[in-house]
Structure formats: structure tokens, C-alpha cells
A and B are shown apart, each in its own frame.
Chain A
Amino acid sequence: NAGVTQTPKFRVLKTGQSMTLLCAQDMNHEYMYWYRQDPGMGLRLIHYSVGEGTTAKGEVPDGYNVSRLKKQNFLLGLESAAPSQTSVYFCASSYYGDYNEQFFGPGTRLTVL
């Protein structure tokens, strides 16, 4: 049981490049989330999904897109990376919403030059 995994672990992009971050969970969770962590800002929600085929915007969605084609995977895309997107990205999952524990992946450290 691997829990929540993320690929890649590290990435450096140039401004304007695109990339996709992959999150996978093997716990049969319905809900999945993408957060970003910036110094002094804590973790903020980018997008989330309440089930296969669904996505919704979180607190800071601009510049990102997501897809949940399979229940176990949640992809985060950056179409045209900007230096302001330099951050650590965490994926999380839970069975459902409010009353359930969220489990986090190991994070992806992204630098945009």
C-alpha cells in the first residue's frame, strides 16, 4: 500500500514552459486535492476533485488546470509556467470531505526560472 505518490519529485522549468504533475493514490479515496506551499503562506488549495470525472477550483486556481480521468489519478497542469508558480506542490486524498482524514503525498518542488 503506497498511499499517495507524486511524480516528479523535483523539476526546474523556464518561464513559458508547460508541465504536468501526477498524483496517484491506492486507497480508493473519492476526494483528491492539489495544494501549494509557499514560505509564510502555509498550504493553499489550488483545485480539488470529489470523484472521477469531476474537478473544481480552490483558493488559488489561476494558471493551473486539472483532470481526473481515473479515480486513482489526479493531474495538475501548468500550461505556461511563471516564476510566481515556484513552490512546493502537495497532493492529498480522503474518502470523502469534512469528516475524513486527508493523506498527503511527498510533494513536488518546482522552480520556474
Chain B
Amino acid sequence: GIQVEQSPPDLILQEGANSTLRCNFSDSVNNLQWFHQNPWGQLINLFYIPSGTKQNGRLSATTVATERYSLLYISSSQTTDSGVYFCATYGGSQGNLIFGKGTKLSVKP
């Protein structure tokens, strides 16, 4: 089945810094989602981005499907950005999302 790898696994930032999170997938995809799991455990949809670029406030994402990767950019990070960021794509006939292991982001004040 499809493999989803995220990097880096851990990231510590000072408030105000910018960061780029990467998601690589082993096969072509027709769906790519980014989620933020906050410290309370909630999974929050950030982007649905099978290809191209989208922006939402300080966050933006780019997926280059032909090269099998997606990037999540966080600018001017805030402490509330802390948590785990997951990318996920559809992995097979069951219609379920295959998740990467996540990037744990800690933003220090």
C-alpha cells in the first residue's frame, strides 16, 4: 500500500519564526489532506489539497503530485500552533486515509 512519510518528526520554534513541514508519498495520489492535532487531541482540517497551492491566513500548503510531495508552511508562528501536524492521503479500496506519523511542533514564547 501507499506509504506516507513526514519530516521532520519534531520541531521546536521560537514564536514568530517560520517553518516548512514536508510530506512524501510513495505513489501518485488524488487526495491529500493536512491536519493539526491540538494539545487537547482534536483533529482540525487545515487543507484539502490534491494539487496546487492554497493559503489560509498564516498557513499555506503546496502539493506537487507529479513529484509525490506536499509542503505545509507556517509563517510567524504562535504558541497556539503547537501540536502535531499530520498529512494523509487515500490508500486503497476501503476509502480510508493513510496518515503519516506526524510532525510534533512546539512553539516557545
| A residues in contact (CB < 8 Å) with B | 31, 33, 35, 40, 42-43, 45, 48, 50, 56, 58-59, 88, 90, 92, 94, 97-104, 106-107, 109
Contacts and interface: CB of A to CB of B under 8 A. Distances in A.
15 contacts: A33-B96, A42-B101, A43-B88, A43-B97, A48-B94, A50-B95, A59-B94, A88-B41, A97-B95, A98-B95, A101-B45, A101-B48, A104-B45, A107-B41, A107-B43
Nearest to A108: B41
Given A43-B99, A88-B41, A103-B45, A98 B30 contact: yes
A88 B43 CA distance: 12
A8 B96 CA distance: 23
B102 A42 contact: yes
B33 A31 contact: no
- In this complex, the interface size class of chain B, counting residues with CB under 8 Å from chain A, is 20 to 34
A100 B31 contact: yes
Contact of B96 (A35, A40, A101, A107): A35
Contacts of B101: 40, 42
Interface string B41-81: 11101001010000000000000000000000000000000
Contacts of B48: 101
